């Protein structure tokens, strides 16, 4: 089933407070990529986004979500959830859910560890080539390669367990590995460009997500983001999806 997506982005795609994503990702609070040591306590954001798939399928999609984060010294954790509603050509409306849990803790200097849990669902999946539920839990190390005021780049990799259930009810649980890159460049104090790459490999599937975006800060509490997201999953009937999206993010 092709997914014409309207994507809301509220944190990093698969890995990082951020994650989505992606994968389907979530845009971070504006300064997070250049400020790995956050103030202790709770913070968060809500977002509303729209996107359209460029290679056919659903006509449009609207997504709304929220992210809550808690920091305490060198330990930070976040939880994000989003729901999207799509207009599927020929079949009416469809909805699905994305949730992500991400924790990071500093080991020494630029080296950190992470724990990642991620879940996506598609309740309309009804064939063996469609994925009804896709979950992954991983742990591993990461390093902040560059952590400047204008340029930030970090990479991480880990091992974990993958669970996939297709539209007929058949499921597969297996080990997997994940590798991610987060690159950001601040053109001005209110404009940040980013490129988020995630690669997840198991015996049954290769999943790749690349999210390129530009964020514009309107105020301390409000920012917008324009993104181009490419997703590849060789276990789906339609392996590649390309999405152009916009999102409004409100921080608290």
CA Rg value for the chain: 17
DSSP one-letter code for 169 = S
Task: From residue 52, give the alpha-carbon distance in Å to each of 28, 109, 172, 245.
Answer: 21, 41, 30, 6
- Residue 129 half-sphere exposure, CB side, CA atoms within 13 Å? 7
Query: Domain spanning 32-251: which CATH class is it, in words?
Result: mainly beta
**Rounded Cα distance, 246 and 249, in Å:** 10
Token pair, residue 144, equals 């902040």
Domain segments of the chain: what residues? 32-251
pLDDT (tens digit, 0 to 9) for every residue of the chain, 252 residues total?
Answer: 333 222 223 333 332 333 333 333 444 444 455 555 567 889 888 989 888 877 755 557 788 889 899 989 889 999 999 887 776 655 556 678 889 999 999 999 999 999 999 898 887 778 877 778 889 999 999 999 998 888 999 999 999 999 988 888 889 899 999 999 999 999 988 899 999 999 999 988 898 999 999 999 998 889 999 999 898 988 777 788 888 989 998 988
Nearest to 95, CA basis, from 104, 103, 86, 82: 86
pLDDT of residue 8: 29
What pLDDT shows up at residue 37? 52
Alpha carbon distance, N-terminus to C-terminus of the chain: 36
Residue with tokens 């999609």: 61
pLDDT of residue 90: 54
Phi first, then psi, for residue 247 (nearest 5°) are: -150, 150
Burial class (CB in 10 A: 0-12, 13-18, 19+), 185: middle
């Amino acid at each position: 089933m092709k997914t014409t997506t309207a994507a809301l982005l509220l944190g990093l795609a698969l890995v990082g407070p951020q994650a989505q994503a992606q994968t389907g990702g979530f845009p971070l609070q504006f300064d997070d990529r250049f400020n790995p040591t956050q103030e202790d306590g709770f913070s968060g954001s809500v977002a509303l986004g729209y996107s359209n798939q460029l290679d056919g399928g659903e006509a449009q999609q609207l997504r709304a979500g929220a992210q809550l984060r808690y920091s305490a010294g060198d330990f930070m954790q976040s939880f994000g959830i989003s729901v999207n509603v799509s207009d599927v050509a020929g079949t009416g409306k469809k909805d699905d859910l994305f949730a992500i849990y991400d924790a990071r803790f500093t080991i020494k200097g630029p080296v950190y560890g992470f724990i990642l849990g991620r879940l996506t669902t598609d309740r309309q999946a009804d064939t063996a080539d469609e994925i009804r539920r896709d979950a992954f839990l991983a742990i591993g190390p990461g390093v902040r390669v560059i952590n400047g005021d204008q340029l930030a780049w970090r990479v991480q990799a880990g091992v974990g367990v993958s669970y996939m259930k297709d539209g007929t009810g058949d499921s597969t649980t297996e080990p997997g590995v994940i590798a991610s890159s987060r690159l950001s460049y601040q053109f001005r104090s209110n404009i940040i460009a980013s490129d988020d790459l995630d690669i997840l490999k198991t015996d049954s599937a290769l999943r790749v997500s690349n999210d390129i975006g530009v964020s514009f800060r309107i105020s301390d509490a409000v920012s917008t983001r324009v993104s181009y997201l490419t997703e590849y999953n060789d276990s789906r009937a339609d392996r590649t999806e390309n999405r152009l999206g916009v999102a409004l993010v409100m921080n608290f």
